[in-house]
A and B are shown apart, each in its own frame.
Chain A
Amino acid sequence: TQLLEQSPQFLSIQEGENLTVYCNSSSVFSSLQWYRQEPGEGPVLLVTVVTGGEVKKLKRLTFQFGDARKDSSLHITAAQPGDTGLYLCAGALATGTASKLTFGTGTRLQVTL
């Protein structure tokens, strides 16, 4: 059973457009991480959100953790070709063990000129 569902699965947009990626679950997470993965490489952490309702900004990327800590969103303003990649959310369940980080299904973003 996949605990974290991401939408959309695929997104192809032109440079300059805005977009939002969603990460949803029925489980409550103690924290949630967002990773970006480029072709042929491993995922790289972008941000961790911990508090319900928390908003974090990383340049043109805005991350929000839902009030109930069950969902998150990633908004990109004025997308650029360098934003192309696979975006993964990952939720940490509140059990405190090393294994309990569940990854979402991923959103593949392509930004064209």
Chain B
Amino acid sequence: NAGVTQTPKFQVLKTGQSMTLQCAQDMNHNSMYWYRQDPGMGLRLIYYSASEGTTDKGEVPNGYNVSRLNKREFSLRLESAAPSQTSVYFCASSVGLTRRYFGPGTRLTVL
């Protein structure tokens, strides 16, 4: 039982490049989330998917897109990376409005 897995762990991009962060969970959770974590800002919600087939914007969705590929997988895409998107990205899953199970994070640097 791996829980929530994320790939890659580290990534360096140049401004304007695109990339997709992958997330998968094996706990059969309905809800999945993408957060970014910046110093002094806590965790801010980018997008979430309450159930398979649905996605909604969180607090800071600009510059990102998501895809809920199936119940297990939820990906986050940066179409044209900007230095302001340098952050640590966490994927999480939950059963409804209960505890979040977080992945290990992806540390992204945009030059």
Contact = CB atoms under 8 A, between A and B. Distances in A.
28 contacts: A2-B41, A4-B42, A6-B42, A40-B104, A42-B4, A42-B103, A45-B99, A45-B100, A48-B99, A88-B43, A90-B100, A92-B97, A96-B97, A97-B50, A97-B97, A98-B94, A99-B33, A99-B45, A99-B48, A99-B50, A99-B56, A100-B97, A101-B100, A103-B35, A103-B42, A103-B44, A105-B40, A106-B40
Interface of B: 4, 31, 33, 35, 40-45, 48, 50, 56, 58, 90, 92, 94, 96-100, 102-105
Most chain-A CB neighbours within 10 Å: which of B44, B92, B98? Answer: B98
Interface in A80-112: 88, 90, 92, 96-101, 103-106
A14 to B, nearest CB: 25
Interface of A: 2, 4, 6, 9, 33, 35, 40-45, 48, 88, 90, 92, 96-101, 103-106
A45 to B, nearest CB: 4
A42 B42 contact: no
Contacts of B40: 9, 105-106
A43 B100 contact: yes
Given A88-B43, A98-B31, A42 B92 contact: yes
Most chain-B CB neighbours within 10 Å: which of A40, A42, A45, A99? Answer: A42
